[in-house]
Amino acid sequence: MSATPVLTARNVSIEYEVDPPVKAVRNVSLTLNRGEILGLAGESGCGKTTLAYGMNRLLKPPALMTTGEVVFHDRSGVDIDVVALQDEGLRQFRWDKISMVFQGAMNSLNPVISIKEQLFDVFDTHRPGMSKSAKRARSRELLALVGVDPNRLDSFPHQLSGGMRQRVMIAMALALDPQVMIMDEPTTALDVVVQRGIIREIMRLREKLGFAVIFITHDLPMLIEISDRIAVMLQGQIVEQGTAEQIYRTPQHEYTKKLLSSFPSLRGERGDFVRTGAGIDAPPASAATPATTAPKEEAR
């Protein structure tokens, strides 16, 4: 993993302009380095997805970025002011430099259009000069890359399992060889075995292709296993950042400690869960330990 930044967000604040206004993200600063997995953890509603949409310029009214800057450090050496991009410049930037696998992505495929047509649409939009044979060859390559039989190219979404549909969405996000991939709860609604397969696939592709990942989830023990660094978010703010080892061994913020203790031990006795002031259910501090027994380095 390189310590060279690929994406930097500084003092980002995002507000939903309703009555009264909702400050969803408050003065957040993050740096994503090339090739690393940065985990973004926190409970539902803490602002994780809103922050990701803001960094990728996907916010729609009434959401508005009120302050801050987002800079993409291209591998060519050019720094791109993402907030300042307009129209054609923004269209060329998105999906080419940064792609995203959306929350509930396995249900995002158009049910009446084949997988081939949906992959072709990416190339028609961003690579208009690409021949039909080249698009088909690249689409087959992408499916094989994520572990889906290339012969499934002519299938419709209902003919694929949930895990296969999720892999197709990852293939679409990889289509233009982006340098950053934002993954918002990519394993939601998948069973545990399929989840583990998807995680392994993401790790393998990251090693093979070298892109950086922002991995968003409420599952802190999973992030400890797969991430290089982790940022913990609460009520629109980053309350703690550190390596996976630091977050696991020596968490500093009380909320981080509660997140870790909210996952019951597989071996310990059952404890009584109580409502905490942070808004999550957690057992008494002495009654539970994280389900994950080792951070990523030891898990290997």
Residue type, 75: R
Residue 268, helix vs strand vs coil? coil
What does the pLDDT read at residue 190? 77
What does the pLDDT read at residue 68? 96
Radius of gyration of the chain (CA): 20
What does the pLDDT read at residue 218? 86
Residue 2, helix vs strand vs coil? coil
Distances (CA, A) of 32 to 4, 8, 282: 9, 6, 30
Task: Choose the CATH number for 5-97+178-250 among 3.50.30.50, 3.30.930.10, 3.40.50.720, 3.40.50.300.
Answer: 3.40.50.300
CB hemisphere CA count around 293 (13 angstroms): 6
Residue 20, helix vs strand vs coil? coil
Per DSSP (E only), the strands in the chain are: 5-16, 22-33, 37-41, 63-73, 79-81, 98-101, 180-184, 212-217, 229-234, 237-243, 274-275, 281-282
Asked if pLDDT for residue 212 goes beyond 90, the answer is yes
Residue 179, helix vs strand vs coil? coil
Using one digit for the tens of pLDDT, what is the confidence trace for 154-201? 999 999 998 899 899 999 999 999 999 999 988 877 788 888 888 999
Asked if pLDDT for residue 277 goes beyond 80, the answer is no
- List where CATH 3.40.50.300 sits in the chain: 5-97+178-250
Using one digit for the tens of pLDDT, what is the confidence trace for 241-252? 999 999 999 999
